[in-house]
Structure 1
Amino acid sequence: MSTITVEQTAALANNWLPSSAGIVELFALSAGYLTLPEKYFVHPASENSRRTVPSLAFLIQHRHPATGKLTRIVFDLGLRRDVKRYSEPIQRHVSTRQPLTTDPDVVKSLAAGGLRPDDIDYVIYSHMHWDHIGEPRDFQKSTFVIGHGSWDLFKPTETSSLRGSHSFFEPGILPDDRTIELNDAETVSKNEKKPSIIPGDANFGQPWTTHSEMDIHVLDIFNDGTVNIVHAPGHLPGHINLLVKTSSGQRIYLAGDACHDRRIVRKELEIGEWLDTAGHICCIHADRKKAEETIERIRQLEHKGVEVIFAHDVEWVENAKNQSRFWGV
C-alpha cells in the first residue's frame, strides 16, 4: 500500500520475487459503514450490543515489468450509495443495520486518487452479499470475477437452505457477457500452471493449485506470485479471498467475510448462532465448520507474518498508521 521507485522494486525482486514479477501496489478504499448486532456474529454477546464497522474495498495495481501493461483490480464494491436501489427484502435487512452510511462509496473513493470506474479492468467479488456487491452498473467497462457457485445464488431454488435476512440476492445485477465464474477449487491440479497468453494479462481460467508455502488453494492470476485468488469456503458459496505480494515487500491477505471480528481469530470469542422465528439454528456462515477451518488457515497465515485485513475490520481502520494506506491519501 505504499509507492516505491523502480530501482527499489528491482532490488526487492532479486530477494524474493521471480525476475518476471510485476510491480504491485495495494490501497484500501472506503466503501461505507454499517452497524452489526453482535449477537448474530460473536458469542458470547449481550442482547443489545452493536458495533459500527467499515465495509472495505481494495484497489490493486499490477504492472508487467517487460511490457509495461497496467492492470487495475478492485476487490469488492462495498455498500450501494443509494440503498433504495436494493431489492425490497434487502432494504428490510438494511433497516436493521443502522446507523449506516454510504459516503464515501467506492466510486467516490476511487475519485479521491484520480480514477474513474472506467479505469478499472476487473472487479473481483469476495462473495455476493449486499454489503459487498455495491453498484455494478457503475463499472461499464470492467470484467466481473466471482467464485464458483456464485451464479447459483441468483436462483431462488438454490438458496432455500440459506437462513437469515442477509441471505437475499439480486438476479440480473451482473452482466452475463462481462462476468467470469471461476472453476471449482475443490479440483486442484498438480500440473504446471498455464501461463497467460500475453505477458501481463490476468488468467482466471487456469486450474487451481496448492500454494507452495501455505496450505491454501490459489489461482496465481498473473503467474508471477503477486496476486493470488484464494479458495476460502464457509461463509457463502463462492467466497474467495486475495493474497497479494506488493513490490514494497508486504504480504497482505484480504479476507473478505471469512471472519467478522478479530476477537474470533484471537480465540477470545466464538462464531455466533441464533434461532429464527421457526426455531431453526442460524449462523452468519452458510457452513460453520468450513468457516472455522478457513479461519484456522488465516491464523496460520498470520503466524507466518502475513498481514490479514477483513472486509469489516474495524480494528484495522481504527489503527492510525493505516489511514495513509487509503487510495488518494
Structure 2
Amino acid sequence: MSSVYPQQTPPSPPESPSEATVEVYALSGGHFSLPERFFVNPASDTARRTVPSLSFLVVHRDEETDRTTRIVFDLGLRRDIKRYSPPIQKHVETRQPMVTLPDVTASLASGGLTPDDIDYVIYSHVHWDHVGEPRDFSRSTFVIGSGAKALLQGQGSLRGSHSFFESDLLPTDRTIELSNPYEDIDEETKHQILDPKGPDFIQEWKPSRNLPRVLDIFHDGSLLIVDSPGHLPGHINLLARTSPTTSVYLAGDACHDRRIMRNERQIGEWMDEHGHVCCIHADKKLAEQTIERIQALEKSGVEVIFAHDFEWEEDPKNRSRFFGSS
C-alpha cells in the first residue's frame, strides 16, 4: 500500500457535478488469436478470431485546482513475450498469431506522452493479456481490485492455462488494492487520504444507476470504478462521463464477444484433460449477472467497449478515437 497523508476531510463535490467530465482515448495494446470455443457457445472447434487487447487513457482536469490526472486502464500485451513466466509463455503458444507492437508505451508516445506522464495505472484484472509491462511505469501508482493481490501471490484454485500470475508483477510501495466491495471499511481506513489533491481510492462502495457498487474517485461523477464480478477476483470496470450527455463504459473482460451481449451466443465452457468443466470466467453465474447490468447500461445509451472488442476496433468511425490519431 502506498504511504498515506494525515487524516483529511474528503473534497466536497463541485456545485454542478453533472458538468464534470473526463477525456477517454483508446490505446493499442497488441493483438492475438482466440479459439472461439473457449469463449462462446455454440462455436466450432476450429473457429478463431484475432482480437485486440485494448487499453485506455483517461484524463481528468479539476477546474478548481487546475490539476490534470492521467490514468491508463490496463496495459495490454507485454511487448517481449519472453518476459512472461514460463507457464504463460507456454499458454501464449496457443494464442498465435500474436502481434505485441505497438504496445501501450508506444501508443502513448504517438500522442506525445511517456509512462512518466501517467499518474495511475488501473488494472481491470491481472490476467497476462492485460498487465503489459508495468516496469515501464516507474513513477505511476498501480490500482488493483480487491482479491487481485491474493491471486498474484498464488492463492486460489483457478483452472485453465491462462490463470498463472506473477508474484513480483507490481511494486508493493506503489500499489493500492481497493477495499472489498462487500464489506464495510473501518473508520480509520475511511480517513486515509493517499493523495489529498488526487483521486480518492479509499472510500465506501455505493450504488449508482443500475450498478450496485461503484467508487466515485474524483467525487464529481466524472469517473466511476465499477465492481464487475465474475471474470476474475478483483475484476473492475470504469464508467466515464465524456460529456454532460454521453458516457463510455470500459468493460475489460466482463464479456469477450458482442454476440453474447446481443444474446446470439452464450458463455462458452470446455472440458479439460482431467474431465473438469472449465470456463473463461471464474464464476459464470456472476459473470452473467454483470453482463446483464452492462446490457442495461447499453440500452440506456451508454457506449460499451470491451478489452477484446474487435467489432469496436474494426468500425472505421473509431479510428480517430485512438490517442495520437489526429
Scaled by the length of structure 2, the TM-score of the pair is 0.91
Residue pair 1:30, 1:54 contacting (<8 A) in 2 also = yes
SS in 1 for 2:53: strand
- Residues 295, 124 of structure 1: CA spacing in aligned structure 2 closer, same or farther, 3 A cutoff? same
Residue pair 2:211, 2:226 contacting (<8 A) in 1 also = no
Look up the equivalent residue of 1:325 and give its one-letter code: R
Matches within 5 A, 1:218-237: 218-237=214-233
SS in 1 for 2:318: helix
CA displacement, residues 206-252 of structure 1 (integer Å, 9 cap, x when unaligned): 111111x2233100000000010000000000000000001464201
CA displacement, residues 256-286 of structure 1 (integer Å, 9 cap, x when unaligned): 0000000001110000000100000000000
Distance in 1 of aligned mates of 2:267 and 2:225: 25
* Alignment equivalent of 1:108, drawn from 94, 103, 106: 106
CA displacement, residues 22-66 of structure 1 (integer Å, 9 cap, x when unaligned): 452110000000100000000000010000000000000001011
Give the alignment's Cα RMSD to 1 decimal. 2.0
The aligned residue for residue 135 of structure 2 is 137
Look up the equivalent residue of 1:315 and give its one-letter code: E
The aligned residue for residue 206 of structure 2 is 209
**Deviation of residue 150 (structure 1)?**
0.3
Look up the equivalent residue of 1:204 and give its one-letter code: F
Which consecutive unaligned segments of at least 5 residues does structure 1 have? 1-12
Residue pair 1:234, 1:294 contacting (<8 A) in 2 also = yes
CA displacement, residues 284-303 of structure 1 (integer Å, 9 cap, x when unaligned): 00000000000000011011
The aligned residue for residue 7 of structure 2 is none
Distance in 2 of aligned mates of 1:133 and 1:289: 25
The aligned residue for residue 5 of structure 2 is none
Residue pair 1:56, 1:78 contacting (<8 A) in 2 also = yes
* More displaced 10-residue stretch of structure 1: 65-74 or 214-223: 214-223
Distance in 1 of aligned mates of 2:215 and 2:147: 16
The aligned residue for residue 308 of structure 1 is 304
Distance in 1 of aligned mates of 2:191 and 2:111: 34
Distance in 2 of aligned mates of 1:247 and 1:202: 20
Residue pair 1:200, 1:222 contacting (<8 A) in 2 also = no
Distance in 1 of aligned mates of 2:184 and 2:109: 39
SS in 2 for 1:216: strand
Distance in 1 of aligned mates of 2:78 and 2:153: 22
The aligned residue for residue 10 of structure 1 is none
Residue pair 1:149, 1:238 contacting (<8 A) in 2 also = yes
* Alignment equivalent of 1:297, drawn from 282, 293, 297: 293
Distance in 2 of aligned mates of 1:39 and 1:198: 45
Look up the equivalent residue of 2:63 and give its one-letter code: P
Distance in 1 of aligned mates of 2:137 and 2:240: 23
The aligned residue for residue 321 of structure 1 is 317
The aligned residue for residue 3 of structure 2 is none
Residue pair 1:188, 1:210 contacting (<8 A) in 2 also = no
The aligned residue for residue 42 of structure 1 is 40
Distance in 2 of aligned mates of 1:227 and 1:196: 18
Residue 120 of structure 2 corresponds to residue 125 of structure 1: no
The share of aligned pairs that are identical, in percent, is 62
Distance in 1 of aligned mates of 2:246 and 2:32: 29
Equivalent pairs counted in the alignment come to 309
Distance in 2 of aligned mates of 1:188 and 1:197: 19
Residue pair 1:195, 1:223 contacting (<8 A) in 2 also = no
Distance in 1 of aligned mates of 2:204 and 2:191: 8
SS in 2 for 1:169: coil
**Deviation of residue 201 (structure 1)?**
1.4
Distance in 2 of aligned mates of 1:111 and 1:307: 26
The aligned residue for residue 10 of structure 2 is none
